[in-house]
Amino acid sequence: MDAPQNEVNVLKPRSVHQHPNTPWRKVKTPLGSLEDAVKMFGAVTLENWTKGHKGIIGHRGYPHTSEDGKIFPESTEGAFVLSINVGIGTMETDAAPIDQDEEVRLFHDLTGKRWTEQDAPVEQMDFSRPVPYVLRRNDLKAGTLGEIVITSDQFVLTLKDLVRIGKKAQEDARDRGQDLTVRWLIDCRNTSAPFTIRDVMRLTKSERNFFYIQLLNFGIKGYQDLSGQVAHLSVAEGWEDLKYVLSPNFDGLHIVAGVAQIDLSPDKHLEANKMWVEDLANNLNVYGLHAPRTGAADDWENGGGPFDVTTLSVEDLLPYHKDRITKGLQDHWRVIKPSLPLISPSAVPTITKDGKHYVSTWADPTILKELDPDHSPKDYYGLQLSDAAKHVIKWHADFVLTDHIPQTAYDLSFHVADLGMTEYYKSLIEPSY
């Protein structure tokens, strides 16, 4: 029987699938060693990006299992430190919804059960003491989480913890004579955006520089709405000058349009989402657009893909409609903000075992659903989303969030070499060979 950490995709040992028997750091690429290629793509940041260049962002850091079996789950100190150490200094994490007086916690799920001992909504969890991450044995047959088998020495973090991690990493880099940029992209779901803004504003000006605040479309109608939410918390003036990234998530497009999800239509509702993006971009200090693609729009346009769209139900057409709107938003961004990058995420399934994929959701992480990509467009395009390099190579994003940093850097190294950019990327670092 596999160790439970070898069932969870983001905790599995990393190898490049083209070189399964070679430690990833020793794999060769057109840019040199893969170890150096990772550093090259990490050296491209949201702040130094210029048109045509490509970068990598660590999706919740670099979760992993150490050689002695210790686990470092998503958004933990160990995951962030490893991401920084391999050269990916820009990392994504999530701000959980909280009660008004609580400090923001960096936690993805709406409940604690998948990753902690506490089976409660995040806003009801007890944070009066450090909350450790755990690993559960998963009952794939029943589609549910099982008993706790590992309690880690990694804990749910706050923004102040990230400041501590970032300062130490930059100080260590300076001692080595290196220039290191450490940043976190804080994904604000549901009601967490104004609280995240409040907590970042409570930091010193230099400490605020560690963070980009990512605004999603689930709980923000526009700039005036966000401004009202922030004013309710008595946040100090100047919050608009923090660093922001806009994220019109495909599951919130219908909310911006003011319709039920089943009624979402690219022909009717693209304009409303364009207005949402423009409104926030014109009033905030914005550094990029984070818009997830799946490729369904391309299949719709060219008649490709495994499904005959003329035979699909209204519900099964939703992945196509969402991706068509997202593609329209990306195209619009290139027009209105040509000097700012496009970012795209690539979350992998929670578990892959015996050729089958299982996912849990942020809303109900206690349920493990087996994907059926042969019959479900939603599941098929969800798996397309997990191919990180495709977001850059095929869908023309500038940055990709990835759960598999070595594989993504390997794939992108061939892409930029084909574009004749080898010398540019090599110039970004001092080679280690």
CATH number reported for the structural domain that contains residue 41 in this entry = 3.20.20.190
pLDDT at 104: 94
431 occurs within a structural domain: no
Report the alpha-carbon distance of residue 216 to residue 136 in Å, rounded.
Answer: 30
Residue 54, classed as helix, strand or coil, is coil
Asked if residue 32 is part of any domain, the answer here is yes
In a domain, 68, yes or no: yes
| pLDDT computed for residue 294 by the predictor | 96
Cβ proximity of 136 and 147 under 8 Å? yes
Q: Could you read off the pLDDT of 147-186 as tens digits, one per residue? A: 999 999 999 999 999 999 999 999 999 998 888 999 999 9
The residues of the chain scoring below 50 in pLDDT are: 1, 432-433
What is the predicted pLDDT for the residue at 7? Answer: 84
Q: How far apart are CA 385 and CA 87, in angstroms?
A: 24
pLDDT of residue 366: 85
What per-residue confidence (pLDDT) applies to 430? 67
Query: Encoding tokens for residue 225?
Result: 């709405």
Neighbouring-strand partners of residue 105: 158
Asked whether residue 432 is domain-assigned, the answer is no
What are the Cα distances from residue 381, in Å, to 289, 316, 338, 399, 400? 21, 11, 28, 20, 17
pLDDT tens by residue, 31-48: 999 999 999 999 999 999
What pTM was computed for the model? 0.96
| Parent domain of 412 | 4-426
What domain count does the chain have?
1
What does the pLDDT read at residue 285?
98
pLDDT score of 433: 41
- The verdict on residue 330 lying in a domain is yes
Condensed to tens digits (0 to 9), the pLDDT of residues 194-228 reads 999 999 999 999 999 999 999 999 999 999 999 99
pLDDT for the residue numbered 365: 87
Residue 76 placed within a domain: yes
Query: First-to-last CA distance in the chain?
Result: 39
Q: With respect to residue 433, please indicate whether it lies within any of the assigned structural domains.
A: no
126 falls within a domain:
yes
pLDDT at residue 139, as a whole number: 87
User: d(Cα 74, Cα 271) in Å, to the nearest integer?
Assistant: 35
pLDDT for res 431:
53
